[in-house]
Amino acid sequence: MLTICTIIPTHNRKKYLKIILNQLENQEMIDKIINHIIVVNDGSTDGTDEMLKNNFSEVHIVKGTGDWWYTKSMNEGFKFAEQFQPDYILTLNDDVEIKKNYINSILEDIKKVETDSIMGTVSFTISKPHRISFGGIYKFDFWRLKEHHYFSKYSQRTPSSLSGIKTSVILPARGMLISYKVLKKLNYFDEKFIQYGSDTDFTLRASRSGIKVYISYNSVIFENEELTSNGAAHNTPTFIQYIKSYFNIYSTNSIQKTFYFWKKHGIIILIPIYIVILILGFFKVYYFKYRMKI
């Protein structure tokens, strides 16, 4: 018997949360699997608790104070999961959608590799034509903090065109299966990354410590890209909104988050170079990259 704990943090997204919970309840399980679903409700005021109690009585609820944000919510979910002594933790966002064979598929793939490893998921935009929002990172240059992706982000792809397993130095947590032993060994997510970056940091720490990190192209999630990443250029913010996002600690572009990441994973004497790269990347991303593909 295999035990999984699925952790989903949420805040005022009752409509989307209901969709993913229905999809989890209707998963086609081939093997004998116990899946404890844990929703971390961080101070929602939209009736999320009532919806859960009325429609998903089997779901475990961890109540946040409204200022936990993403990373603390995940860690509180991880702590709650300890009582079930799970083999794996599955992390999902509240705005993603999955197919009926998702859990079977990702479990089958992790069985093909090391037991104590991390298996991520290829992700596509929920809107059509589907665009690949994450397809794995085969290399990370520490000297310039450069990610090398297997596929260009937000390029058009059909989910059925991809299959197999590849290594990925970094993963997002919106669809990630983690060996519980690995999670404990790495001491959960780093809460100094308040809203964004803790999953990147976690999987990079895993890769650097010799833990195998993979991405499954057989397991697919669809993300609502319009709800993801405050300040992200692919959501076409105005130039002023884009600039402000760099000074918002809860934004994916947060300078505070970025400097902390540099301190942990970069080379200190190269920080002036990182700043130049950040500025150049600022204009490239906003004016030429994702906005041109939407």
Confidence of residue 268 (pLDDT cuts 50, 70, 90): confident
Mean pLDDT, range 109-117, rounded to an integer: 94
Tokens of 294: 């939407």
pLDDT digits (tens, 9 = 90+) for 247-257: 788 888 788 88
Per-residue 3-state assignment (H helix, E strand, C coil) for the chain: CEEEEEEEEECCCHHHHHHHHHHHHCCCCCCCEEEEEEEEEECCCCCHHHHHHHHCCCCEEEEECCCCHHHHHHHHHHHHHHHHCCCEEEEECCCEEECCCHHHHHHHHHHCCCCCCEEEEEEEECCCCCEEEECCEEEEECCCCEEEECCCCCEECCHHHCCCEEECCCCCCCEEEEEHHHHHHCCCCCCCCCCCCHHHHHHHHHHHCCCCEEEEEEEEEEECHHHCCCCCHHHCCCHHHHHHHCCCCCCCCCHHHHHHHHHHHCCHHHHHHHHHHHHHHHHHHHHCCHHHHC
Would you state the pLDDT for residue 263? 84
Mean pLDDT, range 35-59, rounded to an integer: 96
Mean pLDDT, range 11-38, rounded to an integer: 93
Q: Are 195 and 70 in contact (CB under 8 A)?
A: yes
- Of 3.40.50.720, 3.90.850.10, 3.50.50.60, 3.90.550.10, which CATH number belongs to 2-227? 3.90.550.10
Least confident of 32-46, 108-122, 140-154: 140-154
Return the percentage of the chain with pLDDT > 90, whole number.
69
Confidence of residue 270 (pLDDT cuts 50, 70, 90): confident
Mean pLDDT, range 9-30, rounded to an integer: 94
* Domain ranges in the chain with CATH number 3.90.550.10: 2-227
Residue among 71, 3, 73 at smallest CA distance from 37: 3
